[in-house]
Amino acid sequence: MKFGCHLPVYGPAATRATILGFARRMESLGFDSLWASDHVVIPWKIRSRYPYNPTGDFPLSPETPFLEPLTTLAVVAGATEHIALGTTVLVLAHRHPVLLAKMLATLDQLSGGRVIVGAGVGWMKEEIELFGVDYQRRGAWSDEALRVLRACWREPRPRFEGTFFRFDELAVEPKPVRGDIPIWIGGDTPAALRRVAELGDGWHPAFPTPQSLGEALPRLRDASSRARRATLRRRTARGAEGAPRSRRQPRHPRITRTRPRRDGRALREVRARRQTAPVDRARRASSTSDRS
């Protein structure tokens, strides 16, 4: 089991001195990871229901200082050596995914490959629509954004053609240290669990209890099974509709011949030469010895 803790990125403690002292102390105590949450703005009027308390009221006032998470993690990366750095969670709709891919890969490079991306679709309509994303379509938008992140990190010349994002071949450098960055998906709705199974490397629920985890894990397993079956169907379909027959792999590669066949007479001649080769070599050696 690994243990992480949340950086004090909001409120009176959200200062340089506190952040750096906290990060260094947690690393010295042996904690495995440090995490920062994400809000760009806090509207004065919030009609959206906060999903993590009984009242539905967001617990922070608009005047509360709230540090930007990636900038904060960059400062922490320079003050620590080994502890992992994560977002809990980064709201995908707050940043264009190509810019986000660049920022995260840069942070991963400068931290020595320590970044974990906790990512979610967000709950605050007022904040999400401020950045031009349709709140009702934020799930589909986020799915595409995750695919854009992967393309920018994994491919040397990424290009993308989707509903929300389209671009021709780009150079997005540097790449992450390990060629990719782990993505842990937040949320516990059916759509979120499907997103974990199809697009994520792990699940990052908010404020889980033993009871809520016990209820959600079977649903996550079901979603993972469905995702595996869908992936297998896609691969099978691509194999059936792929390259022309002349360019496909042989159906029985173990018996594929790489040399031309010989007729019976030629084969007998080869065997005869092989049988007489030792005698011929001995004769040549004897002749050489006589001459010397």
Domains of the chain: 4-207 (3.20.20.30)
Question: Kind of pairing, strands 4-6 and 33-36?
Answer: parallel
Percent of residues in the chain assigned helix, strand, coil, to nearest 5: 50, 10, 40
**Beta carbons of 184 and 92 less than 8 angstroms apart:** no
Give the phi and the psi of residue 10 in degrees, each rounded to 5.
-140, 160
148-187 per-position pLDDT tens digit: 999 999 999 999 999 999 999 999 999 999 999 999 999 9
Per-residue model confidence as pLDDT tens digits over 121-145:
999 999 999 999 999 999 999 999 9
Residue 211: what pLDDT? 94
* In contact, 104 and 116? CB cutoff 8 Å: no
Model pTM score: 0.80
